[in-house]
């Protein structure tokens, strides 16, 4: 991939122009960050692990009625995706309390939620991704009311599909972060990735038995050993 075609370098992925102007080429790098990018490392094979899980889930989501940006994998770290106009929101869906829900609101770690909770954060590292609400989203004209309802419907559908899929592998989907965008026909599609960087996964039945980026965030062990094991559990 020529650096000349580089359109955008994120914290863990790079986006390149492709031959078709409606298509982008996404490269999952081995970089990993936490604390708004203050903590940074590179682990060989990490990009391939996340790309593999993303390439596994997106076709399953499409088959189950979730429009996504995913077209196909080119190699173990590169994927072709539809170009979307990304909506600057981090859509977090939660099934059990962990992370910021415990820190900020006094839930008990691991507490089961009666129904999934959706939390929307503004995607803006310089402002530390503050929580945002419907009225602010609409006032900033990120989306219309109908589109916001569609994002929430899709987020809950993704959650249901993933939760059931992972439960079959004895993995508990605690929460996850999703990002959406609009294609050139105005259809809301799931963009970004679904991987150990964006999912919070616990080995079933155990509190905080992390199988995801919390290993890195909280210095809980060998990141690559955990990522590789999680990929094996999910994909095989």
Instruction: Name the residues that contact ligand 5GP, by CB under 6 A.
Output: 90, 92, 98-101, 129, 175-177, 197-200, 213
Show the beta-strand stretches assigned E in 65-105: 70-73, 78-82, 85-86, 89-96
| Closer of 5 and 163 to ligand 5GP (Cβ) | 163
| Closer of 5 and 100 to ligand 5GP (Cβ) | 100
CB of residue 125 to ligand 5GP, shortest distance in Å: 8
CB of residue 20 to ligand 5GP, shortest distance in Å: 27
How far is CA 117 from its chain centroid? 16
Q: Are 81 and 69 in contact (CB under 8 A)?
A: yes
What secondary structure letter does DSSP report for 181? E
Q: Are 50 and 39 in contact (CB under 8 A)?
A: no
| Closer of 83 and 177 to ligand 5GP (Cβ) | 177
Q: Compute φ and ψ for 204, nearest 5 degrees.
A: -55, 135
> Residue 26 forms beta bridges with which residues?
15, 79
Position closest to ligand 5GP via CB: 99
| Closer of 18 and 214 to ligand 5GP (Cβ) | 214
CB of residue 97 to ligand 5GP, shortest distance in Å: 9
| Closer of 5 and 56 to ligand 5GP (Cβ) | 56
Q: Are 193 and 32 in contact (CB under 8 A)?
A: no
CB of residue 186 to ligand 5GP, shortest distance in Å: 26
Q: Are 97 and 109 in contact (CB under 8 A)?
A: yes
CB of residue 135 to ligand 5GP, shortest distance in Å: 21
């Amino acid at each position: 991939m020529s650096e000349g075609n580089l359109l955008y370098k994120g914290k863990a992925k790079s986006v390149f122009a492709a031959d078709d102007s409606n298509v982008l080429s996404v490269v999952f790098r081995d970089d990993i960050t936490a604390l708004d990018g203050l903590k940074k490392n590179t682990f060989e094979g990490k990009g391939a692990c996340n790309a593999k899980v993303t390439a596994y889930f997106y076709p399953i989501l499409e088959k189950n009625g979730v429009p996504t940006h995913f077209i196909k994998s080119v190699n173990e770290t590169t994927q072709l995706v539809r170009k979307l106009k990304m909506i600057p929101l981090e859509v977090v869906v939660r099934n059990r309390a962990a992370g910021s829900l415990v820190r900020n609101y006094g839930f008990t770690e691991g507490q089961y939620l009666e129904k999934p909770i959706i939390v929307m954060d503004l995607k803006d590292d310089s402002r530390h991704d503050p929580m945002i609400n419907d009225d602010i989203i609409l006032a900033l004209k990120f989306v219309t009311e109908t589109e916001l309802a569609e994002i929430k419907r899709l987020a809950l559908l993704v959650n249901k599909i993933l939760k059931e899929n992972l439960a079959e592998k004895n993995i508990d989907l605690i929460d996850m972060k999703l990002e959406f965008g609009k294609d050139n026909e105005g259809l809301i599609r799931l963009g970004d990735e679904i991987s150990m960087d964006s999912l919070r996964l616990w080995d079933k039945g155990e509190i905080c038995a992390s199988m995801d980026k919390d290993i890195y965030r909280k210095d809980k062990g060998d990141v690559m050993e955990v990522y590789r094991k999680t990929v094996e559990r999910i994909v095989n």
